């Protein structure tokens, strides 16, 4: 697929994977949807999910902090909360950026 400078859409990803694997587009779509569901449930349950060779998704606790309202400059307290942190796996960095 030629590079247009834009990220691939889900349809384009499904099409490319179907062509390279020989699986149907319907099967590829099902696998992508199930992978997403599995990632969400595992990250919620275990606080971590790894897609081998691509990335690690973690749920981390962010402490409360003081910030500023950009419109008024008023100081506000930003409450503590859980956030999702994505870390790129080393094989992905090496493949995309080179060693």
Task: Check which CATH number belongs to the domain holding 57 and give it.
Answer: 4.10.520.10
Structure tokens at 35: 């992978």
Q: How far is 26 from 14, CA to CA, in rounded Å?
A: 9
The pairing of strands 81-88 and 65-68 is unpaired
Instruction: Give how far the C-alpha of residue 42 lies from the chain's centroid of Cα atoms, to the nearest Å.
Output: 14
Tell me which residue range forms the domain holding 51: 47-99
**pLDDT of amino acid 82:** 95
One domain for residues 51 and 97: yes
User: 56 and 27 in one domain?
Assistant: no
Quick check: 4 pLDDT over 90?
Answer: no
- Please tell me the pTM assigned to this model: 0.77
Question: Does pLDDT of 70 surpass 70?
Answer: yes
Per the structure, the count of domains in the chain is 2
> Is there a single domain that holds both residue 64 and residue 41?
no
How many Å apart are CA 8 and CA 55, to the nearest integer? 18
pLDDT tens digits for range 17-57: 999 999 999 999 999 999 999 999 999 999 999 999 999 99
Question: Same structural domain for residues 77 and 40?
Answer: no
Provide the b/e sequence for 33-48 (b: ≥16 CB within 10 Å). Answer: eeeeeeeeeebeeeee
Residue found by looking up tokens 């020989």 in the block: 22
């Amino acid at each position: 697929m030629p590079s247009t400078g834009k990220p691939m859409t889900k349809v384009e990803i499904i099409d490319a994977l179907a062509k390279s694997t020989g699986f149907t587009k319907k099967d590829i779509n099902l696998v992508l949807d199930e992978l997403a569901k599995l990632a969400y449930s595992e990250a919620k349950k275990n606080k971590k999910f790894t897609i081998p060779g691509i990335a690690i998704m973690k749920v981390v606790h962010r402490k409360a902090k003081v910030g500023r309202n950009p419109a008024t400059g008023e100081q506000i307290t930003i409450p503590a909360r859980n956030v999702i942190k994505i870390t790129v796996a080393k094989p992905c960095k090496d493949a995309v950026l080179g060693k």
